[in-house]
Amino acid sequence: MRSAVRRLKRWLYLGHRWLGIATCVLFAIWFVSGVVMMYVAFPNLTTNERRAALPDIAWSRVLLSPDQAMAVAGLSRYPRELRLTMLNDEPVYRIADWKGPRQTISAVTGQAITSITAEQAFAVARHHPAAVAPTLLGTVERDQWSVTARFDSDRPLYLVDLGDASGTELYVSSRSGEVVLDTTRHERVWNWLGAIPHWIYLTVLRQDAPLWRQVVIWISGVCMVTAFSGIWIGLLRAGLRRRYAGGRVTPYRGWMAWHHVGGLIAGVVVLTWMASGWLSMSPFGWFAGRGDRSDALQRYAGHDAPTIKVAPPVRDRPGVVEVRFVWVDGSALLLLAHRDGSQSVVDPISGAARTLSEDRLFVAAGRLMPGTPMTLRQRLEQPDLYWYTHHHQRRLPVLRVGFDDAAQSWVYVDPASGEILGWSDRSARVRRWLFNALHSFDLPPLIAYRPAWDIVVIALSLAGLMVSASGIVIGWRRLVR
């Protein structure tokens, strides 16, 4: 028995030594890049940024009704999204059906727009508020910033440099003419020290999403084993009950002592960061998203046919850059978006301001899951544990509706517009604690007082970096010998 234990210990030490040599550089990179990501996110175009680059709707040129646009698109049911916006100086309808590609229909000619020229893309970019001296850089099929599959329906992309001090570059879809992404010089530089190394987000790998996911799962899994074995060895070698000479906790000196003591202090945090990062990739299908919700959403809308009537009083509203045509509980509504980010809700016939009562919205939300008891009706005025603004822009106030289904689903509804802003279930709420709490430290006392969050996360990252750096030195010396 003693011989077997000795052999197991030997394999434990050897395994940690060589796994550590293989992974300690990755650990160091993750700690540094994680701090960078606290302040510089991966480039992303928000809804408000997209709308800020749109010209006012030229109402006088809108000759096609929403019903006619849906007929041209060949819809048999009301689409998931129907918007009126501008393509340079031409009003167009943007239609996203429940299945199939997005469509763009001219509100002037009624023709489907399936591609735009480089000159049109350049004209679209000129409306951006940051445009100073725009330059068309050419077309991009796929690059570091547009690598994900969500841009596939827009490729190839026209790339336009706006010539501003921030070095802003716009990606314009060659199929729809919409701006789908923007980046700044600041984002492009810092992401090479942040999200790209942290997520192993190299274009050659990330363009194959299943392969990239498997690579991240296996690498983080190996690193998780390294961290666990390090904690185990650290406890075995720690003089917690019987101290070493001079009252020391560790038998080591120099870099080995730093690695041992640092691992004892920061090892649990390193392990939880590795484990939560591994879980974020949903291994074995854990935390996988739910299926098709189209039927539930159309029950909530209370309208299925591809029709919506809009009368002339709605027109001639200055400052409107986008109109969304929606149904909520059988009532048609127009959501008018303004360049400053505000939104107004009006009746499509009278043009008067319109809202639906909260009681009516709760009743409509109940149709999302017919026959399932509603267990929660709540109005949130302030952020809470599951709806907070630390990393995301969240609208408040918001209505939260809970159901007694197998997944214990929650739905978030905007009381001003009736829009469904988000879905959650038991799996998502568990993930909130296993990833957002353990990996991002989204803990109420810290995110309520933002400097506290920065101090704690940076301090722990530095502790992890110290363990990693000492491991690099120890590993290098071992390889040299």
> What pLDDT, in 10s, does the model give residues 6-41?
899 899 999 999 999 999 999 999 999 999 999 999
**Residue 315: band (very low, low, confident or very high) from pLDDT cuts 50, 70, 90:** low
Amino acid at the residue 329: D
Q: How far apart are the C-alpha atoms of 394 and 100, rounded to whole Å? A: 29
CA-based R_g, the chain, Å: 27
Confidence bin at 314 (pLDDT 50/70/90): low
Rounded to an integer, the average pLDDT of 329-341 is: 93
Q: What whole-number distance in Å separates Cα of residue 409 and Cα of residue 400?
A: 10
Instruction: Specify the pLDDT at position 470.
Output: 95
- For residue 24, give the 3-state DSSP assignment: helix
Rounded Cα distance between 349 and 334, Å, is 10
Beta bridge partners of 155: none
The mean pLDDT value for 49-66 works out to: 93
3-state secondary structure 445-467: HHHCCHHHHHHHHHHHHHHHHHH
The C-alpha atoms of residue 345 and residue 325 are separated, in whole angstroms, by 10
Residues 296, 368 contacting (CB under 8 angstroms): yes
Alpha carbon separation from 278 to 200, 217, 387 (Å, rounded): 13, 6, 24
Helix (H) or strand (E) holding 360: helix 358-366
For position 101, what pLDDT does the model report? Answer: 87
Predicted pLDDT at 316: 66
350 pLDDT exceeds 80?
yes
The confidence score (pLDDT) of residue 241 equals 82
- Over residues 33-53, the mean pLDDT reads 94
Which pLDDT does position 391 carry in this prediction? 78
Question: With bands split at pLDDT 50, 70 and 90, how would you rate the model's confidence at 433?
Answer: very high
pLDDT for residue 313: 65
- State the Cα–Cα distance between residues 436 and 287, nearest whole angstrom: 13
pLDDT in tens, 178-191: 999 999 999 999 99
pLDDT 10s digits, 186-211: 999 999 999 999 999 999 999 999 99
Beta bridge partners of 353: 346
**Average pLDDT of span 122-144:** 95
- The whole-number pLDDT of residue 471 equals 94
User: Cβ distance 253 to 244 under 8 Å?
Assistant: no
When pLDDT is averaged across residues 455-460 and rounded to a whole number, the result is 96
What integer pLDDT is reported at residue 448 of this predicted model?
Answer: 86
- pLDDT > 70 in the chain, percent: 99
Residue 361 has pLDDT above 90, yes or no: yes
Q: What angle do CA 312, 318, 324 make, to 5 degrees?
A: 65
Burial class of 254 by CB neighbour count within 10 A (0 to 12, 13 to 18, 19+): exposed
> Mean pLDDT score of the chain, rounded to an integer?
93
User: Which pLDDT value is given to residue 242?
Assistant: 85
Measured CA to CA, the distance from residue 222 to residue 274 in angstroms comes to 9
pLDDT digits over 379-428, tens only? 999 999 999 988 778 899 999 999 999 999 999 999 999 999 999 999 99
What pTM value is reported for the model? 0.91
Q: What is the pLDDT of residue 205?
A: 95
User: What tokens does 131 get?
Assistant: 């445009």
Contact 87, 116 (CB under 8 A): yes
**What pLDDT score was predicted for residue 217?**
95
Strand order, beta sheet including 420-424 = 374-380, 398-403, 410-413, 420-424
In the predicted structure, residue 218 carries a pLDDT above the cut 90: yes
pLDDT tens across 112-127, in order? 999 999 999 999 999 9
Strand order in the sheet with 157-161: 135-140, 157-161, 169-173, 179-183
Amino acid at 72: V
